[in-house]
Amino acid sequence: MKAPILVSGSSGLIGSQAVRHFARAGARVVGLDNNGRRQFFGPAGDTRGTLAALRQDVASFEPLELDIRDRAGLARCVGELRPRAVIHCAAQPSHDLARSRPFDDFDTNAVGTLNLLEALRGTCPETPFVLLSTNKVYGDAPNERPLVEHATRFDYADAEDAEGIDEGCRIDASTHSLFGVSKTAADLLVQEYGRAFGMPSVCFRAGCMTGPQHAGVELHGFLSWIVKCAVRAEPYTVIGHGGKQVRDQLHAQDVCGAIEAWLENPHPADVFNLGGGRACHGSLLEVIALLEAELERPFVHDFAPTPRVGDHICYISDTRRFRAAYPSWSPSHSLPELVAELVRAEVAGLHGARRSA
């Protein structure tokens, strides 16, 4: 039997997309997941529906219920599988939850990554390792870039920042949130294992990632959550900055395209920013306007004046470094296209739920 691609967090947004993406390419895919999103976020975060769909749709998918905090179990799994690649997506993804459950956050994000790296180093150190890292490794340092305020958004004031934040942004002397700290620890571990042991590894410092299968909740998954609220006519609270804060968005299938490109030519200790960049970005107010146009009705929302601690005011991923190294890759969606796709998926899911009720 051929060696599989091992995907941790295989029922999550990027993990489930990776299962489908690489299975379509003919790979045997083994997924690790323990439905941690339900543990962290309650019923709204439950990913069993995603798992059921993967079982039904992907013949070559082999799911395993395993917590990446289980060091011995992970070592046995990796030793038996000897995977040809590891795509590490499992994480606790919420800033707010990390503050109330710091041990769960750090043990999942940092120690879980260490467990997986050590399992690989002990059996198959030549296996390429992909970490879905985050732009939160930079903390709030991006907020120091000069900004200009427009009617619906903030943007960078200096021409040299026009493409956004690059990998040279510092990671120290800034406020990260506890989630940002645990993900930074994981990011640095992956780099160090690449340098110290020659293990092919990459940290993709991703901005906002989304797609129609995203199980967004109030504490995580901004675009998915705001689409759910808009489609269901539920109130939404804009937290801070008057709704002018800017994010870039990247479709999950484009994340997998970047992973595939890197796996074709991996190196130790690679670090790349990954996001929609200028091709797919907008402010919260601009997203609300897109939703109102798509739904052809107003979207009820209110404003909380105080922003989250360390929240980025304007963050656009500068992906030029990755695009230069892997020129076949580029984002496939504009923001209006992405919003429209999410709305269609949410409307279809809501109608299906009503029919089965």
Identify which has the larger pLDDT, 230 or 309.
Answer: 230
pLDDT of amino acid 315:
98
Amino acid at position 236, single letter: Y
Check whether 357 has a pLDDT greater than 60: no
Identify the CATH number of the domain in which residue 58 sits.
Answer: 3.40.50.720
pLDDT digits (tens, 9 = 90+) for 44-57: 667 788 999 999 99
**Beta-sheet pairing, 201-206 with 270-274:** parallel
Q: What is the crossing angle of helices 71-81 and 112-123, to 10°?
A: 40
pLDDT at 46: 77
Specify the higher pLDDT residue, 304 or 1: 304
DSSP state of 307: P
**How far is residue 9's CA from residue 89's CA, in Å, rounded to a whole number?**
5
271 pLDDT more than 80: yes
Locus of tokens 């739920």? 353
Using one digit for the tens of pLDDT, what is the confidence trace for 101-154? 999 999 999 999 999 999 999 999 999 999 999 999 999 999 999 999 999 999
- pLDDT over threshold 60, residue 353: no
Decide if 259 contacts 246 (C-beta within 8 A). Answer: no
Average pLDDT over residues 94-107: 91
Structure tokens at 351: 């109608």
86, two tokens: 């590891």
Cα separation, 98 vs 109, in Å, equals: 10
Which of the four pLDDT bands, split at 50, 70 and 90, describes residue 354?
low
Least confident of 8-12, 305-309, 344-348: 305-309
- Mean pLDDT, the chain, rounded, equals 93
Whether the pTM exceeds 0.75: the reply is yes
Given a cut of 60, whether residue 356 has pLDDT beyond it is: no
Reply yes or no on whether the pLDDT at 185 is more than 70.
Answer: yes
Look at residue 309 in the predicted model and tell me its pLDDT: 79
52 CB-near residues (< 8 Å, 6+ apart): none
Report the C-alpha gap between 109 and 12 in whole angstroms: 14
> What is the predicted pLDDT for the residue at 220?
67
**Higher model confidence: residue 38 or residue 151?**
151
Span 242-251, average pLDDT: 97
Count of domains for the chain: 1
* pLDDT score recorded for residue 172: 95
Structural domain including 338 reads 5-356
Average the pLDDT over each of 7-11, 108-112, 215-219, 276-280 and give the range with the smallest value: 215-219
Model pLDDT for residues 205-232, shown as the tens digit of each residue:
999 999 988 777 676 678 999 999 999 9
For residue 170, the model assigns a pLDDT of 97
**What pLDDT score does 263 carry?**
98
70 burial (CB, 10 Å; 0-12 / 13-18 / 19+) is middle
Predicted confidence (pLDDT) at residue 38 exceeds the cutoff of 80: no
Q: What is the mean pLDDT of residues 255-279?
A: 98
- Burial grade of 341 (CB within 10 A; 0-12, 13-18, 19 or more): middle
pLDDT given for residue 94 in this prediction:
84
Q: Interhelix angle for 335-356 vs 222-231, to 10°?
A: 50
> What percent of the chain clears pLDDT 70, i.e. is strictly above it?
96
Residue 117 tokens, joined: 């790296």
**Predicted local distance difference test score (pLDDT) of residue 114:** 98
Cβ neighbour number for residue 92 with a 10 Å cutoff = 24
Q: Residue 109 in 3-state DSSP?
A: helix
